[in-house]
Structure 1
Amino acid sequence: MPEPVGVRRLLVVGTGSVTAAHLPFWASWLKTAQPGVEVRYVLTGAATRFVTREALVAIGGCDVLADRWPEEPEPRARHVDLAQWPDAVVVLPATLNYLARLALGLGDSPSMLALQCTEAAIALAPALPPGGVRSAAYEEHSAKLAGRRNVVVVPPHPGRSTTSGRREAWAPASFPDVLAAADALRAELATAQEKQEDQPQEEQQLEVQQQEEQRQERQRERA
């Protein structure tokens, strides 16, 4: 059994890759391996081609939302709740389309807008078709996302393509590895926040400026 993580409220977003079919297995694993973690799930419309909300509700025993704007008025904004509730977010699987929308700053669904605005740690686990990991789109968007303070991209590994049968697709990292990455980033952000609260305002501004300069330098190096 893995060590308990420090995450207490975990949001899991599943997108439209065939590997979304594995989410019920990971929901069962979470209940057993990390019983102290409260979990909520969001499924995109494309994800429901491979896994049902009913399966996740039954196995995970928790809320499973559809990633669409509600047709009827709600007393609370869904995207605000999704942004403020978790202290960590795992997107697994993360398709190239979802990564691109996130990198471009779009907010065209509740989960997308929530991830643009949340201060929680976000771990992305890409799932890509053959050639996807070497595509210009993936290289550009993953580098841009990795440059964000609260985002970590966990690289995919070679997997078997369901179309060709050859090991030329790119499967997402395992859920425990992605959760560990999210937890490590969550702890790092919490430490930085505590340190910032203890600093005088002028020192805080200087540190924020230095962090921004470092981030821009990393982006230039990737380019």
Structure 2
Amino acid sequence: MLKGKTIVLGVSGGIAAYKAAALCSKLAQAGADVRVIMTESATKFIAPLTFQTLSRHDVIVDTFDEKDASVVSHIDLADRADLVVVAPATANMIAKMAHGLADDMLSTTLLATTAPVMVAPAMNVHMYAHPAVLANMSTLAARGVLFVEPGTGQLACGYVGKGRLEEPEQIVKAIQRYFNDQELLRGKKVLVTAGGTVERIDPVRYLTNDSSGKMGFAIAEAAHLMGADVTLVMGKTSAMPPEGIRTVKVESTQQMLDAVVARLREMDVVVKAAAVADYRPVEQAEQKIKKKEEAMILQLVKNPDILQTIGSMKTSQFIIGFAAETENIDEYALDKLKRKNCDLLVANDVTQEGAGFGTDTNVVRIYDGSGLVEALPVMTKREVARQLLILTVQRMKKGERAN
């Protein structure tokens, strides 16, 4: 799976740098062409000669130590990489990446590459939980950087907690999974809706909901990483959409419906993850409504049902719906799936810890026409998205669709 792939391995300065040697060895054994860049700090923990021996290539530390006059090293490495892996990634290196600093060979190459980047953090438990580090990782994740989460256990500093570099075997599996995933939706067109819709009352007020857009964004990003041609139709969100994906911004439920219907015929998969407004005001005031009476009556009318519309229009498309519930999740989910002619329906109890609006995690149950297919525990929305799309690919290959 890794044969013929060029992996640039960036090693930054933490005690976990010794594990990077085992990672380098395992990647080379799996057939990858491994090119190692070390920070000056990393060389204090492990010698470059170790990586040179394991990779059979020169190890680059100094930005100005150009060994080949025909190329500029950091640009050459950035261009030839199929994947850049930073392991261990210290808090300092993560901060450099988030803020676009380029003051050493590794950070300069990271800024120059257009290849996907995978980061395996390693640091003290309190450093890993620091708001600045969390914000930097969130920034990188929004840009599409992949993460291999650290493990929990005894740290070199003496603390016990989360922050230990994941074992080399697991990082290799994550890399192999990345390359395998790239082909799952190759040649397919996927449309994802995300966020909440806005229904105007007047120029300064509107009806909406708490949807952040994070689940839809995670699905769009996962589909993109799996090789799909992705269109993201997004309403109001509190998160930033993933980079490198075609986006169509809308406001109201009607606008979102129009955007989806206009593109439906050419799609292979449609994932309706947006939380749209079910009702809109009968009238929208052209000017700001002034406060007059103690009570105000707002008359609402039902909005068109996007999922039901595309369910009735579908030909060969694989349709996935979402349902945010607060009770009777199985009953409501199955009813919605059948009424709206979905192939799969993903439901969650938004009152459950780790599954509410705006979180980075979710707890979902996936249904088809026969009932519950899979119940996923608390996991990141990115991992939920991946699991959902893998299930979709499997069903599409078998031709399993709603009647």
Q: TM-score, normalised by structure 1?
A: 0.76
Alignment partner, residue 210 of structure 1: 232
Aligned to 2:300: none
RMSD: 3.3
- The answer (yes or no) to whether the contact 1:143–1:222 under 8 Å persists in 2 is no
Q: CA deviation at 1:118?
A: 1.6
Q: Structure 2 CA distance, aligned partners of 1:12 and 1:211?
A: 36
State, as a whole percentage, how many aligned pairs show the same letter.
Answer: 24
**Distance in 1, Cα, partners of 2:185 & 2:139:** 21
* Pair 1:155-2:177 in alignment: no
Q: Give the drift of 1:30.
A: 2.9
SS at match of 1:142: helix
Deviation string for 1:92-141 (max 9, x for gaps)?
A: 00000000000111122232122223221211000011312211011100
**d(CA) in 1 for partners of 2:47, 2:39:** 11
Distance 2:177 2:234 in 1: 21
Quote the residue 2:28 is aligned against: 31
Using CA pairs below 8 Å that are at least 6 residues apart, which structure has the higher relative contact order?
1
Distance change in 2, residues 1:222/1:102 (3 Å): farther
Match in the other structure for 2:171: 178
Tell me whether 76-85 or 58-67 shows the greater mean CA deviation: 58-67
Whole-Å separation in 2 of the counterparts to 1:59 and 1:152: 25
Greater shift in the superposed pair: 171-180 or 79-88: 171-180
Indicate the residue corresponding to 2:253 in structure 1: none
Shift of 1:23: 2.6
**Stretches of structure 1 lacking an aligned partner (at least 5 in a row):** 197-206
1:202 aligned partner: none
**Cα pair distance change 1:17/1:25, threshold 3 Å:** same
Task: Tell me which protein shows more strand as a share of its residues.
Answer: 2
Q: Does 1:82 align with 2:104?
A: no
- Deviation (angstroms), 1:76: 1.7
CA contact (8 A) 2:150 2:162 kept: no
Matched residue, 1:15: 12
SS in 2 for 1:62: coil
Q: Is the 8 A contact 2:124 2:159 kept in 1?
A: no
Contact 2:66 / 2:73 at 8 angstroms: preserved in 1?
Answer: no
Q: Is the 8 A contact 1:145 1:153 kept in 2?
A: no
**Which structure shows the bigger proportion of residues in helix conformation?**
1
SS of the equivalent of 1:216 reads coil
SS at match of 1:99: helix
Displacement of 1:89? 1.2
8 Å Cα contact 2:9/2:24 also seen in 1: no
Change (3 A) 1:190 1:89: farther
| Rounded Cα–Cα distance in structure 2 between residues aligned with 1:122 and 1:5 | 16
Deviation at 1:158, TM superposition (A): 1.7
Tell me, in whole angstroms, the C-alpha distance in 2 between the residues paired with 1:98 and 1:20: 13
The answer on 1:61 being equivalent to 2:56 is yes
| Inter-partner Cα distance in structure 2 for 1:51 and 1:190 | 36
What one-letter code is carried by the residue in structure 1 that aligns with 2:59?
V
- 1:162-203 CA distance string (max 9 Å, x none): 23x34236111122333333444455567788669xxxxxxx
* Residue 209 of structure 1, CA deviation: 7.5
| Equivalent AA in structure 1 for residue 38 of structure 2 | L
